[in-house]
């Protein structure tokens, strides 16, 4: 994925409570080929290209209108815009973990929403590294991220992501079971077995997973207090909590451009 080359490490900065924030830049470019690839990848989070014609046929919509009317969060009508920003941020962090850090990040949150303008409940991003299937391996990893966006307003910051992450130790089992059920009914045996392996790791072997809190931030809404003011003190897994901040220029415009491009080029 060419667009993943736009991630660039910037720095690591200490914060309150002994934590450290990794700061990454996302230096996107309006390169037609790279943007086309990114838009296709993004579109397929919501609706597979191989399924879209079958799904849209009963609606009488063309591909673009089907995606905009039934799959993508609305650009203008609340809560669509905030859901757009939130979904974009979650998908960007999942892409970072998958393509930069080589985790497996199952994508099951976006393509079967009951309400396209609402965020899907559960843990935001679940990432895994699984060694030597089908046998168990002590090197298996599970990391769970809470993700917030600071793209169109200043209402979110890293502390909101940290506070949200505090709930993940209680909801990760339910989120994994939802993934497992999804893969079971999709007859995706390989993915079902991988999720089962991770479930056994945390439920039977009692190996702890790792947690993370991430903020995707537009440069015009960034300030140093977002980093230095982050506080991990009250997080139940504060010794095992990773903090990420990904920033880029004018993310509000790029979010809407990406949704539009993804629909238009379907």
CB 210 within 8 A of CB 239: no
pLDDT tens for the chain, residues 1 to 266: 999 999 999 999 999 999 999 999 999 988 999 999 999 999 999 999 999 999 999 999 999 999 999 999 999 999 999 999 999 999 999 999 999 999 999 999 999 999 999 999 999 999 999 987 777 678 899 999 999 999 988 889 999 999 999 999 999 999 999 999 999 999 999 999 999 999 998 887 788 899 999 999 999 999 999 999 999 999 999 988 999 999 999 999 999 999 999 999 99
Q: Which of these, 245, 206, 205, 208, lies nearest to 223 by C-alpha position? A: 245
| Number of domains, the chain | 1
Q: Are strands 20-26 and 7-14 parallel, antiparallel or unpaired?
A: antiparallel
Which ranges of the chain does DSSP label H, i.e. alpha helix? 32-46, 52-56, 63-66, 80-95, 158-165, 168-185, 189-203, 225-228, 251-264
pLDDT on residue 218: 96
Cα-Cα-Cα-Cα torsion 154, 167, 243, 146, nearest 10 degrees, comes to -60
Residue 31 domain boundaries? 2-264
Q: pLDDT tens digits, residue range 9-30?
A: 999 999 999 999 999 999 998 8
DSSP string, 119-169: PPSS-SEEEEE--STTS--TT-EEEEEEEEEESS-SS--HHHHHHHHTTHH
Cα-Cα-Cα-Cα torsion 54, 59, 65, 71, nearest 10 degrees, comes to -70
Distance of alpha carbon 33 from alpha carbon 11, whole angstroms: 29
Question: pTM for this one?
Answer: 0.96
pLDDT on residue 249: 96
């Amino acid at each position: 994925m060419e667009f993943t080359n736009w991630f660039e490490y910037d720095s690591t900065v200490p914060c309150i409570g002994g934590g450290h924030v990794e700061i990454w830049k996302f230096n996107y470019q309006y390169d037609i080929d790279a943007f086309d690839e990114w838009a296709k990848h993004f579109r397929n989070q919501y609706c597979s290209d191989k399924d879209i014609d079958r799904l849209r046929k009963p609606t009488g919509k063309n591909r673009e209108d089907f995606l905009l009317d039934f799959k993508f969060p609305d650009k203008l009508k609340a809560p669509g815009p905030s859901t757009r920003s939130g979904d974009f941020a979650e998908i960007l962090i999942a892409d970072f973990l998958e393509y930069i850090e080589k985790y497996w990040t199952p994508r099951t949150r976006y393509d079967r929403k009951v309400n396209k303008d609402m965020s899907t409940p559960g843990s935001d991003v679940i990432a895994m590294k699984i060694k030597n299937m089908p046998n168990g391996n002590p090197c298996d990893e599970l990391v769970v991220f809470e993700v917030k966006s600071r793209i169109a307003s200043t209402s979110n910051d890293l502390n909101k992501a940290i506070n949200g992450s505090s709930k993940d130790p209680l909801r990760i089992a339910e989120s994994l079971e939802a993934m497992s059920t999804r893969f079971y009914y999709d007859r995706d045996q390989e993915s079902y077995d991988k999720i089962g392996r991770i479930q056994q790791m945390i439920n039977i072997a009692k190996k702890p997973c790792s947690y993370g809190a991430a903020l995707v931030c537009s440069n015009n809404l960034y300030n140093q207090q977002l980093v230095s003011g982050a506080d991990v003190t009250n997080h139940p897994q504060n010794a095992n909590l990773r903090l990420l901040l990904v920033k880029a220029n004018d993310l509000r415009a790029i979010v809407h451009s990406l949704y539009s491009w993804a629909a238009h080029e379907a």
